Amino acid sequence: MKRLAPYLLILPGGLWLLIFLVVPMVFMASVSTQEGDMLNGFVQTFNLSTYGDALAQYRTQFLRSAGYGLMGTAVSIALAYPMAYWIAFKGGARKSTYLLLVLLPFFVSFVLRTVSWKFLLADDGMLLAPLKSMSLVPGDFHVLQTTVAVIGGLVYNYLPFMILPIYVALERVDPRVVEAAQDLYAPRREAFTKVVLPLSLPGVFAGVLMTFVPMTADYVNAGILGGPENTMIGNIIQTEYLTNSDYPTAAALSFTLMAAMLIGIFAYARALGTENVLEAAAR
């Protein structure tokens, strides 16, 4: 019975993943190689040319999504690291309160949070209307339906996913290690770059994975805050599934997106040095 205990513990989670992840992906893989339409039905023909046609047709949206994901992730790191550092080392007894404030947006629906930014950034909204009335910005100035609006929405919605893992990694850093570096006459900058930063890399690594993947596949922010020039591949997949009913193309786009992100993640892990990250996490 003891030998079976580990397998029994992972059985519920394994069944859940099998039913709600593996089975749908197998079904979607089958759909991606079919041909037909909603009127005449779809027939399995193992047509792999759908992948090439979909990639060629929507290459711009793929590149745009990857660019938005990279830019959003970079901005998230720049904003999240100082916040996580301050909470971990300066938060004191109020760390839990600060973390609650970081998580507070999650108490509101994702879509509602994004729509609220649309009202704030509208040409006659709470932010721009007063600035235009005081002639601080040109009358034709607008933020909505721009790249800045979409990336800003992505960063706002996914920033906590970057803050939390970095905070956890920084929280594990023993302050005495930093004090020892300073006692050995290391300047503050070198104590950070040589001690704190390497030890916090596991958090940065996890944060990038947790933000880049959903940012790249997101379609809500581009649909609400962006315009025709800001369409992401997620918007195309949504349209192909729900509007055009072109299930093979939508499934092929979904698999292509997953493959591209997996390749990017493995390349990122290799460039960063997963072994070094794991060694730092084990300390």
DSSP letters of the chain?
Answer: -TTTHHHHHHHHHHHHHIIIIIHHHHHHHHHHTEEEETTTEEEE---THHHHHHHHHTHHHHHHHHHHHHHHHHHHHHHHHHHHHHHHHH-GGGHHHHHHHHHGGGGS-HHHHHHHHHHHHSTTSTTHHHHHHTTSS-TT---TTSHHHHHHHHHHHHHHHHHHHHHHHHHTS-HHHHHHHHHTT--HHHHIIIIIHHHHHHHHHHHHHHHHHHHHH--HHHHHH--GGG--HHHHHHHHHHTS--HHHHHHHHHHHHHHHHHHHHHHHHHHTHHHHHHHHH-
Closest by CA position to 241, among listed 229, 232, 251, 231: 251
**Left, alpha or beta for 24 (phi > 0: left; psi -120 to 50: alpha)?**
alpha
pLDDT given for residue 173 in this prediction: 87
Report the pLDDT value the prediction gives residue 281, as an integer from 0 to 100.
46
State the residue for tokens 């930093």: 178
Q: Rounded distance, CA 223 to CA 226, Å? A: 6
Other Cβ atoms within 10 Å of 77 Cβ, number? 16
pLDDT at 137 (0 to 100): 81
pLDDT of residue 64: 96
pLDDT at 39: 84
Structure-block tokens of residue 104: 């507070």
Which has the closest alpha carbon to 154: 236, 89, 94, 66? 66
Task: Give the Cα separation of 106 and 100 in Å (integer).
Answer: 10
- Among residues 140, 5, 9, 153, which one has the least CA distance to residue 71? 153
Q: How many Cβ atoms from other residues are within 10 Å of residue 178's Cβ?
A: 18
Give the span between the Cα atoms of 209 and 220, in whole angstroms: 19
Residue 156 near residue 117 (C-beta atoms within 8 A): yes
Over the chain (283 residues), the average pLDDT of each successive run of 10 is: 83 93 92 90 92 94 96 97 94 92 91 91 85 82 91 96 95 84 79 87 91 94 93 95 93 92 82 57 50
Model's pTM, two decimal places? 0.88
